[in-house]
Chain A
Amino acid sequence: MSDKCSCEQPLVPVMVEVIDIKDETPDVKSFYCRKTEGGVPFDVKPGQCAMVSQVAIGEGMFSCTWQEEQEYLQFAIKKVGLLTDELHAIEVGQKLGVRGPYGNGFPVEECQGKDMLFIAGGIGLAPLRSFIKYCFKHREDYGKITIIYGSRSYADLCFKEELFNEWPAIKDTQVYVTIDNPEEAWDGHVGFVPAYVEEINPDPAGMIAVTCGPPIMIKFVLQSLEKMGYTDDQVITTLEMRMKCGIGKCGRCNIGSEYICLDGPVFNLAQLRLLPQEW
């Protein structure tokens, strides 16, 4: 359970200004925001989320990318519905509402000294990227880092600069990328993420696996990891459901007695096994 929040109005957003927008894929954009007078309304821990609103349209919960220097808030947002369509249409200078940070975030401290395996699909890399960036910032605190990432196509791969140039150049780091179907200009791996994980077969000894992606991918990745000998407390995932309040009161994001917005979104598999299979 979270500590008591100091914010007096947890349901009322603070306005920030969009200072940069970057196309990541044909349907994913990164938004960089800060207060008009500079700075961020709140600091975030890796894996935490925030409610972002195009105020006159609606609000949605998005993973907030962890920044080494918390000078701006960053969200990578995929276009999937009413609000995200609107967000994809805005320009630099637009004012957005933000409130948060919400949720527990990744157990970055408990994972210290471990080898890390990150498995992501599609926009699911967005939350894991916070943890990955955190590990690289505190590189000496973590062992080997393995990143396995897949998307439908080359164009749909997010954060290509980091994926192909920055991350593979970092010490003791391996990055594996796959796409669902063959493409002419692609000479990398082709196939779905779960099968690729089994093919690479990272040794579970001393490893923590963190996964996020489409629900169907998560489901099969969890099965693969189990098959490969990973125990339930070695596997972490971050979930999402429809949310309105973000503070465990409006009801809808429960899985059993836990609220994803407040008690999650990060759970290990041992915790999830105690809950109804509704995720």
Chain B
Amino acid sequence: MKILNKNQLETILNKLAEEAEVFVPMSKGNSSGFYSWKTRNPETERLMLDALNVYLSPKNIGFPQTEKMYSIKQSGPDVEIKETFEDSDPRIIFGIRACDARAITCMDDVFLTRGYEDSFYKARRDNTTIIANACYNPGPNCFCAGMGIDPTEPNADIIIRDTGDTGYIWETKTTQGEQLSARIADLLEEKELKAPELKPFKTNVEYAGVAEKLKSMFEHPIWEELSQTCQNCGICTYVCPSCHCFDIQVKMWGDEGYRFRCWDSCMYTEYSAEAGGGNPRPTTKERFRNRFLHKLEFFTERYGYPLCTGCGRCIVACPTGINIVNIIDQVKEANVDV
């Protein structure tokens, strides 16, 4: 089998960075996320390949927090628009975990299927190679297995497996992965190492059956109770690797400007506020309910699997301790005859 020696890691990242933008998990200030290897500041940014989940997911790589769509120039009644994108330079996400890799599958389904292909997303996605880091020791808030994901088999072009020894097993899964592996073939070693055993999860939850049960729980009093502490701050949607809602807005300076899209959050009033003054989700309860039903029921009905990948980020980030695992448990325990 192919082995990536840990002492060769930087050499390989440097080599890959010659031909593509390589995003790796790194600490940055008091946060962490996926940042460019090439332009890193070694003083302040440290590679965090061993961390299970960095604070910010890699969702901005395929779906930037803000992206220009087209520029606008007006003169009197005349208006000219010109596309300003498309950023389709080759990129590599290195060291992504199974939960975040699943979130990319979610994004692919949302942006590339069901009638329309989102050209902005597609331009980047077609040129992105994913190298995932298999997990063997789940963290305190990890529950991907409960959401139907095998942490040791992430959906990726290449999987690396930390043998705990001197190297990572380098396992190529797709044609796109083969092309990349070929480029660094001389830096990989041929050796037999054994992947570790998956340790037990500390957070256990079983999603099976939840989508079906939720079908009859839209009017259930549970939403009033569970949403009590929610402040509608939106941090859960911001850190979530699979939350894909966006807004489209315009920015003008006099007669010139551009239209852009940016992440939006279903936690905000404006999200569904209508011009005539109506809002189908006027209070926290309706917005909270819609978010969790989207994650756990609606997305499953539409795409066949839930929009939660068990990464645990929202559990860590929520200022009032709202915990999706707890919500799943309560839904399972709820009496639906009320």
Contacts and interface: CB of A to CB of B under 8 A. Distances in A.
Contacts of A7: 116
Contacts of A253: 272
Interface stretch (B38-46, B195-203, B291-299, B330-338): B291-299
Contact of A15 (B81, B219, B273): B81
Contacts of A148: none
In this complex, the interface size class of chain B, counting residues with CB under 8 Å from chain A, is 35 or more
Contacts of B272: 241-242, 252-253
Nearest to B280: A278
Nearest to B217: A276
A41 to B, nearest CB: 13
Contact of B77 (A13, A95, A215, A277): A95
A5 B115 contact: yes
Contacts of A80: 275-277
A93 B299 CA distance: 44
Contact of B276 (A55, A81, A278): A81
Nearest to B265: A251
Interface string A199-219: 000000000000000010000
Interface stretch (A57-65, A139-147, A168-176): A57-65
B119 A84 contact: no
Interface in B82-127: 83, 110-111, 114-120
Question: Dominant SS at the A interface?
Answer: loop
Interface stretch (A129-137, A223-231, A254-262, A264-272): A254-262
A165 interface: no
A45 to B, nearest CB: 15
Interface of A: 1-5, 7-13, 15, 55-60, 80-84, 90-91, 93-97, 215, 240-242, 244-245, 247-254, 256-257, 262, 276-279
29 contacts: A2-B116, A9-B119, A15-B79, A15-B81, A55-B72, A55-B79, A55-B250, A56-B72, A58-B250, A59-B248, A60-B275, A81-B275, A82-B275, A83-B275, A90-B77, A95-B79, A241-B272, A242-B273, A244-B264, A245-B248, A247-B116, A249-B111, A249-B118, A252-B245, A252-B271, A253-B272, A257-B302, A276-B293, A278-B218
